[in-house]
Amino acid sequence: MNVLATPQSTSSAPKPAEHFDILIVGAGISGIGSAYHLTQQLPDKSFVILESQESFGGTWLTHRYPGIRSDSDLHTFGYRFKPWVGPPIATSEEIKSYMGEVIADNDLGKHIRYKHRIERASWSSATNLWTIEAVRTDSGEPMSFTANFLWMCQGYYRHSRGYTPQWPGMDKFKGRVVHPQSWPEDIELGDKKVVVIGSGATAATLIPAIAGKCAHVTMLQRSPTYFRVGRNAIELAETLRQLQVKEEWIHEIVRRKILFEQDAFTRRCLAEPEQVKEELISQITAVLGPDYDVEKHFTPKYRPWRQRIAFVPDADLFLGIKSGKASVVTDEIDRFTEKGILLKSGQELEADIVVTATGFDLCVLGDIAFSIDGKPLNFGDTVTYRGMMFTGVPNMVWVFGYFRASWTLRTDLVADFVCRLLGHMKAKGAKKVVTALRAEDHNMPLLSWIDPENFNPGYMMRNMNLLPKRGDKPEWQHSQDYWAEKDEIPGIDLDDAAFVYD
């Protein structure tokens, strides 16, 4: 099945293109999971995974700052097919080692080409093929591939750099400014005063990891964030292990328990936000004590779940604050000074190192220049089919996971869908599938990818115009609702008029 085909564009690709039935973009948790499902469900298909980095892991390879860990439990962030046997919150090393086992156990390594950055993807209706032009990041050599189907597992943010807002005076600051996404190996924390700008999951992970290793660390936030506090352990898993229940069963039972509880929690956030808010905040007061100003530093203005809620295992962030090794300042930055940061309140925070835990740069489909029959493709002009396919874009699926549940739950669901779709195409003798609005959809309002009333993290809000549009019917949106989609996605009628085959 792995044959050589003539490339459509030869300008920068002197070698003949290599052909695969399916080309998977990215060797992160989505790409590796998708490859696994493909080998299990459609073992006759040829495929390749192209990955620009030097190894697998994606997010868990890119982020190397101290303390880097998941904020989801690994029973649900892990794949449904491979039991997670460690504590629920895992380090990036543990996640990479889990993924490494999936690759080794299923002989996936032979399908992965590292150091291949994809730059262009062009669809030809004449051949019903994608031509993918990549560059070897080590030698600069152009590489060309053709594929019948593109499986986009490139994530949602730019791996090469994080998002750092520009503040006045940054050029005058005598210390060092570091983004957690490009954590320098040579950084000495020793006797340094560190200010971390931001209060999301990254700040919550980094601060306890460096508190005690530097002179002092301050979390500087414009406004408070919600956190959940709990033990980094699942009692039920421990009990089942004591009873020598098989790990496969424990994985499944604990997944069901966690998903059941998350579903109930999400519903409560919508039905009784004030009560949930109080519960979350009281967990923090319990650690910091009644004299700490929890109202000012840990009481958000928005309702719970509008942004991801970071889990703080064993209350480590709050214990760091209680010990005095870390502190929190809630204020706005006026400007950087030579010595640190001047706040709008007039206070100056002295710093030797400023860490900008200010988030990601959203990146739609891996910064790849897409075209269809020679015409550049702007994803902002398309409408999404359930956050997986895009109107007018043939033979392509994007794995965009969940924010309120573990991302990987959707990787497994989308993989089943892709394999079913490819099987259906084979049965029909179709070479091409594209989604299109049906007659009844033509007057449908077209809205932004995510409803900002529902979920509104900064990296999404900054770049919403780059993302495909959403309609007001379940078929034409990414609902972010695992509990509905776990039944809806397997039930999709592939002969619905939204799918056009050729």
Ligand X SMILES: Cc1cc2nc3c(=O)[nH]c(=O)nc-3n(C[C@H](O)[C@H](O)[C@H](O)COP(=O)(O)OP(=O)(O)OC[C@H]3O[C@@H](n4cnc5c(N)ncnc54)[C@H](O)[C@@H]3O)c2cc1C
Taking contact as CB under 6 A, which single stretch among the options 52-60, 164-172, 183-191, 335-343 is the one that binds ligand X?
A: 52-60
Distance, in Å, from the CA atom of 35 to the CA atom of 30, rounded to the nearest integer, reads: 9
- A 10 A CB-CB count for 168 gives 12
Tokens read off for 355: 């860490």
Q: Examine residue 27 and tell whether it contacts ligand X (CB under 6 A).
A: yes
> CA dihedral defined by 404, 207, 90, 96, rounded to 10 degrees?
100
Q: With respect to ligand X, which residue has the nearer C-beta, 34 or 175?
A: 34
Site for ligand X in 177-206 (CB under 6 A): 202
Rounded CA-CA distance 131/138 in Å is 22
Closer residue to ligand X (CB): 8 or 411? 411
Residue 483 to residues 30, 136, 448, 486: CA-CA distances in angstroms?
A: 19, 41, 22, 6
Q: How far is CA 344 from CA 194, 335, 422, in A?
A: 19, 8, 57
141 DSSP assignment: -
Nearest-angstrom CA–CA distance, 70 and 310: 9
Give yes or no for residue 155 binding ligand X (CB under 6 A): yes
Span interacting with ligand X, options 55-63, 252-260, 291-299, 337-345, rule CB under 6 A: 55-63
87 is a contact residue toward ligand X (CB under 6 A): no
List the beta bridge partners of residue 113: 50
Residue 471's SS3 state is: coil
Using the rule CB under 6 A, give the single segment among 45-53, 272-280, 345-353, 426-434 that binds ligand X: 45-53
CB of 404 to ligand X, least distance (A): 9
Asked if residue 397 binds ligand X (CB under 6 A), the reply is no
Q: Does 333 bind ligand X (CB under 6 A)?
A: no
Return the number of the residue (61 or 269) whose C-beta is nearest ligand X: 61
How many CB atoms lie under 10 A from the CB of residue 490? Answer: 11
Q: Which lies closer to ligand X via its Cβ, residue 62 or residue 340?
A: 62
Region from 212-220, 288-296, 362-370, 486-494 binding ligand X, contact rule CB under 6 A: 362-370
Q: Pick one of 17, 35, 50, 364: the residue that binds ligand X (CB under 6 A).
A: 50
Strand partners, 384: 390
Report the interhelical angle of 247-271 vs 235-242 (nearest 10°).
160
Q: How many residues bind ligand X (CB under 6 A)?
A: 32
Ranges of beta strands (E only) in 274-390 are: 310-313, 326-330, 333-336, 340-343, 348-350, 353-356, 369-372, 375-376, 384-385, 389-390
For ligand X, give the closer residue by CB, 77 or 318.
Answer: 77
Site for ligand X contains 31 (CB under 6 A): yes
Q: Is 406 in the site for ligand X (CB under 6 A)?
A: yes
Question: Residue 60: what are its φ and ψ, rounded to 5°?
Answer: -85, -10
- Residues 20, 35, 71, 204: which binds ligand X (CB under 6 A)? 71
Residue 28 in the binding site for ligand X (CB under 6 A): yes
- From 44-52, 184-192, 380-388, 434-442, give the range in contact with ligand X by CB under 6 A: 44-52
- CB of 88 or CB of 340, closer to ligand X: 88
Q: Which residues of 247-263 are buried (b: 16+ CB within 10 A; e: fewer)?
A: eeebbeebbeebbeebe
158 contact partners, CB below 8 Å, separation of at least 6: 360, 361, 362, 363, 367
Q: Shortest approach of ligand X to residue 331 CB, angstroms?
A: 25
Q: Does 18 bind ligand X (CB under 6 A)?
A: no
Closer to ligand X by Cβ: residue 35 or 211: 35
What is the nearest approach in angstroms of ligand X to the Cβ of residue 152?
9
Q: Closest CB to ligand X among 70 and 477?
A: 70
Chosen residue from 111, 159, 306, 469 binding ligand X by CB under 6 A: 159
Figure out which of the listed residues 17, 23, 25, 250 binds ligand X, where binding follows CB under 6 A.
Answer: 25
Smallest gap from Cβ 499 to ligand X, in A, equals: 24
**Residue closer to ligand X (CB basis): 152 or 349:** 152
- When asked if residue 207 is in the footprint of ligand X (CB under 6 A), the reply is no
3-state secondary structure of 179: coil
% helix, strand, coil for the chain, step of 5 = 35, 25, 45
Residue 387 contacts ligand X per CB under 6 A: no
Binding mask 211-250 for ligand X (x = CB under 6 A): ----------------------------------------
Contact between 52 and ligand X (CB under 6 A)? Answer: yes
| Beta carbons within 8 Å of 421's beta carbon, 6+ residues apart | 397, 433, 494
Tell me the two tokens of residue 487. 């039944």
Task: Output the CA torsion 473→476→479→480 (10° steps).
Answer: 180
x/- track of binding to ligand X for residues 114-153 (CB under 6 A)? ---xx----------------------------------x
With binding defined as CB under 6 A, does residue 485 bind ligand X?
no
Instruction: Summarize as ranges the residues that interact with ligand X (CB under 6 A).
Output: 25-31, 50-53, 58-59, 63, 70-72, 77, 117-118, 153-155, 159, 202, 366-368, 399, 401, 406-407
